[in-house]
Structure 1
Amino acid sequence: MKKILLLLSDGFEAYEASVFTDVFEWNMTEGDGSTKLVTCGIRKKLTCTGHLTVIPELLTSEVNITEFDALAIPGGFESAGFYEDAYSEDFLSIIRKFDRVGKIIAAICVGSLPLGKSGVLCGRQGTTYHLNNGHRQQQLAAFGVNVVNQPIVVDGNIITSSSPATALDVAFKLLEMLTSVENCRHIKYLMGF
């Protein structure tokens, strides 16, 4: 069983988290059944965009990295407090631990900014939210990241993306990397893509 840790910050974007929960649930029920998603956060209750309350299965203090094969991070809204958790040492430490052992890390939109802040993307290629005068891309570059203006960038074990529009593609790419091209195609087909 391949386990994915869905690392959530207060203020995360509900849609960007839901693509991971949906794709990996489809794989469990209709695909090869080899993946399990586990939610995690710094707080016992998280409020995402749209004011939905989420209770993560694990707290960051309870995570044993050896039990997981991949890390998934949705972006969020600054106005909803996203960066308060996403830039905290507990959050950044988990990112560093996953990267240190070469496990796959998939980040959607501004979910790549904590990757940049953690240092795991320094000197590597990545992308982030590209609209609004490239403000977020400039922030990512300030962390030493070689920003590539593409929808999705894969650099070794790290997947980053440029906007919420790429969210499903990131989830499918992660599924493909954890299972197989054929299994991913099968899930896409069943989901109508």
Structure 2
Amino acid sequence: MKKILLLLANGFEAVEASVFTDVLGWNKFEGDGTTTLVTAGMRERLKCTWNFTIIPEMLLSEVNVEEFDAVAIPGGFEEAGFYEDAFSEDFLNLIREFDKADKIIASICVAALPIGKSGVLNGRNATTYNLGKRQKQLSEFGVNVIPDKPIVIDKNIITSYNPSTAFNVAFKLLELLTSKENCNNVKRLMGF
């Protein structure tokens, strides 16, 4: 069984989190059955950008990286407090631990920014939100920003440039954890 941590910062975008729950959930019930997803955050209750509230299954302090095969991180909005959690030292340290263990780190949109701030993308290729200041901000962390590519994969890290890429990132994560054939089957079953 492949165990994936869905790492949520307060102010996350629900749609970016839901693609991971749906794709990996569909795989669990209709695909090869080898994935399970666990939600974690720094707070007992997390509010997404548009006020949808969730209760994560575990707190960040309870996460043992050795128990997981990958981490998925949705982006969020500064106005909703996303960077308060996402730029905290505990959040950044968890990212560092996943990278040190060479486990997959899949992110959508501005979730690349805490990955960049953690230092694990220094000198590596990545992307982030492609409108406004976020790609410049990512480059300031020593990242080689690929501005016009929707999804960038550098070794174990997947980054993408806006919410429209969300399903593709989740499917790429599923493919890397299982197989291309299994991923294509889940896509077909989901109507893609």
The answer to whether 1:143 aligns with 2:141 is yes
Could you say which residue in structure 2 is the equivalent of 1:124? 124
Paired residue for 1:35?
A: 35
Distance across 2 between alignment mates of 1:120 and 1:168: 24
Q: What amino acid maps onto 1:13 in structure 2?
A: E
Structure-1 separation of matches of 2:135 and 2:36: 32
Equivalents in 1 of 2:76, 2:50: separation in Å?
11
Q: In the TM superposition, what whole-angstrom CA distance separates every residue of 1:42-92 from its partner, at most 9, and x where no partner exists?
A: 000000022011100010100011100000000000000000000001100
CA deviation map 1:101-120 (0-9, x unaligned): 10000000000000000001
TM-score, normalising length: structure 1: 0.98
**1-structure distance, mates of 2:6, 2:89:** 17
Give distance in 2, aligned partners of 1:7 and 1:25: 16
Q: Find the residue that maps to 1:71 and give its secondary structure.
A: strand
In structure 2, the residue matched to 1:185 is: 184
The alignment's C-alpha RMSD in Å is 0.4
Tell me, yes or no, if structure 1 residue 21 matches structure 2 residue 21.
yes
Question: Aligned pair 1:115/2:115, yes or no?
Answer: yes
The letter of the residue matching 2:110 is V
**TM-score of the two chains, using structure 2 as the length reference:** 0.99
Counterpart position of 2:101: 101
Aligned mates of 1:11, 1:98 — CA distance in 2: 22
Distance 1:5 1:170 in 2: 15
- CA offset at residue 142 of structure 1? 0.1
Distance in 2, Cα, partners of 1:84 & 1:154: 26
Residue 185 of structure 2 aligns with an amino acid whose one-letter code is H
Aligned to 1:58: 58
| Structure 2 residue ranges without an equivalent (≥5) | none
Deviations 1:156-175 (A, max 9, x none): 00000000000000000000
Cα distance in structure 1, aligned partners of 2:40 and 2:93: 13
SS at match of 1:173: helix
Q: Deviations over 1:101-151 (max 9, x none)?
A: 10000000000000000001000000000012xx10000000000000210
How far, CA to CA, are the matches of 2:26 and 2:166 in structure 1? Answer: 16
Runs of 4+ aligned residues of structure 1 deviating over 2 Å after TM superposition are none
Aligned length: 191
Alignment of 1:157-176 (within 5 A): 157-176=156-175
Mind listing any 5+ residue stretches in structure 1 that lack a counterpart?
Answer: none
Note the C-alpha offset of 1:186. 0.1
State percent identity of aligned pairs: 69
